[in-house]
Amino acid sequence: MDFTEIYKQTASLVAFSPGTHFLLTAVQDRLIIRRSDSFQIARTWLVDTSPSPTSEALLSSNAAGPHSLRDKTGESSSNAWITHAGWSCDSEYVLGACAKTGVVCVFKLRDETWNARIEAGSEGLVKAEWAPDGRAILCFSEWGLRVTIWSLVTGAATYVQYPIHPDRGYAFRQDSRYFVLAERHKSKDTLGVYDAHEAYRLVRHFPLPTGSMASVSLSPTGNHLAVWEGPLEYKLYIVTLAGNVVGTFSPEPDPGFGIRSVAWHPSGMFLAVAGADDKVHILESLTWNAIATLDFVTRVPVGVHIWREPTGWLEVTHGRGFLSYECIQPPFTLPTAASQVRSKPTKPAHGTRSSAASTSSRAGTGTTQIAFNTSGSLLLVRSASCPTAVLLYDFPHTSRSSSSSASARPPTASASSSSSSIPRLRTVLLHTQPVTSARWNPDPGRAGRLAVACGSQSVYLWSDEWVVEPEAGPSHAGAGAEEDAEVAECVGVPAQKFETRDLKWAPDGKGMILVDRETFCCAFEVEEEGQNGEGLVA
């Protein structure tokens, strides 16, 4: 892989444009646009985060009033730094918001002089983001008072009262037509459906069966909505956009704690549900019953690929180049958090061990992440019981072709197809430090490629699309023909002080952003000539 230089960033606000031609970065109170091919600065704006008169009056009563937005040296203080930034869907506009002062600034990429400003006022600002059409901005106020949708076309605002959560509990349908929002009216959970093409006109409003809703998740088809209870009750409901409850799921026996993660299969045929009991339940969309339950296994059986990060490889390679994982022959016992003695970090660095420990402690127990790849053929599972491991499950009979033709099958055929689509554990990736981030490649043509970060001076790659030439097969020591179908590599980041705490793929899947606490860099794949994207080298 080719790596760029190290650049500054604030609050991990770094994002490729939807077309991957530009890169947006927030540095304190500035927005910087770079070209992704040369990383030269194309645009830069100073975001005016000075509060509105109403907010200024409220801030004047606090010790950290508006006068503290600039220190004695003239540099902006953290109270005036950008907290939210993002691209519109067509890369025409960018926004930068400061939640502490309640200000959102919008800029146009083609016209450096054009700008717009949104002031939240006394209601405050918690979050600001783009609507899918790229011409409206959603602003969530403090205390769950309302959501304000500002239109850049008309300048008008639409208000929706009493959202339950500012960071979850809402979704847009894939075609961007409808906006669903979980609301709380008269101490009861309700759901509002709004038509985004008609100035967010209310279409439906109905009560939810939940008593204290945790979040919602809209299916990829847009027909069903998964709604689940808070952290004290393990119960999930499947609701249509018309308000009909078509399914309910609660495992037996009761795990005692609520649902932590929910993930839809890209086809909408399956729903993965996980909680604090280290079990992942796979529901099918015909009866909304569980067709499989994936238990976290501490002993990996025969037939599973086990890849382990080599010990001390960063010291050997000096953080440059790449090295393959060690292939372990099953059966193998995983080092769980309860029994594992923390080893020395791969490369001693300030804050590495503390950050890993804090991440593990915040995660608690149970499943911390479940995610399907873009084709739905693989399911990623991470658990706090083994924070250094990434488990990959195989869905052998859920290809896109079978998913698209599922509606044409009779119910008996669909039921038999669901029963034969029970996932099996395929691969386990083991690392020296706890995993902080794991993301699938967003390109449908590269669905079987995974990137993992562990808070170290490296990034870890796994792929099932590796093409092995016949004469190259024997060179893989300890790996047979079956293992050659996948590859796992440790790639060092050539920097003195850099820890990959998070990563973000580019929309085209050919590069990624590696994020540290206050800096970032980009990594791009290098293709061999004549391979057409296959047989990639790191």
pLDDT in tens, 276-331: 999 999 999 999 999 999 998 889 999 999 999 999 999 888 888 889 999 999 89
- Domain membership of residue 379 (yes or no) is yes
- Domain membership of residue 238 (yes or no) is yes
CA distance 429 to 397: 23
- Domain membership of residue 503 (yes or no) is yes
Q: Domain boundary residue among 112, 146, 161? A: 161
Let me know whether 289 and 302 are in one domain.
no
DSSP 3-state of 110: coil
Let me know whether 277 and 384 are in one domain.
no
Let me know whether 461 and 386 are in one domain.
yes
Six token digits for residue 396: 């052998």
Taking each continuous run of H as one helix and of E as one strand, the counts in the chain are: 5, 42
* Number of independent structural domains in the chain: 3
- Domain membership of residue 407 (yes or no) is no
Let me know whether 253 and 371 are in one domain.
no
Residue type, 523: A
Let me know whether 386 and 499 are in one domain.
yes
Let me know whether 236 and 309 are in one domain.
no
- Domain membership of residue 71 (yes or no) is no
* Strands lying side by side in the sheet with 170-172: 170-172, 178-185, 188-195, 201-207
- Domain membership of residue 441 (yes or no) is yes
Q: Domain boundary residue among 106, 136, 161? A: 161
Write the pLDDT tens digit of every residue in 353-402.
444 444 433 446 789 999 999 999 999 999 999 999 999 999 865 544 34
Let me know whether 51 and 21 are in one domain.
yes
Q: Domain boundary residue among 161, 186, 203? A: 161
- Domain membership of residue 209 (yes or no) is yes
Residue 343 has pLDDT above 60, yes or no: no
Let me know whether 249 and 121 are in one domain.
no
Global model pTM greater than 0.75: yes
- Domain membership of residue 343 (yes or no) is no
Let me know whether 370 and 311 are in one domain.
yes
Displacement of CA 390 from its chain's centroid (Å): 15
Let me know whether 38 and 150 are in one domain.
yes
Per DSSP bridges, beta strands 424-430 and 305-308 are parallel
Let me know whether 151 and 197 are in one domain.
no
Write the pLDDT tens digit of every residue in 469-494.
554 444 343 444 444 489 999 999 99
Q: Range of 279's domain?
A: 166-295
Let me know whether 280 and 314 are in one domain.
no
- The pLDDT assigned to 265 comes to 96
CATH at 382: 2.130.10.10
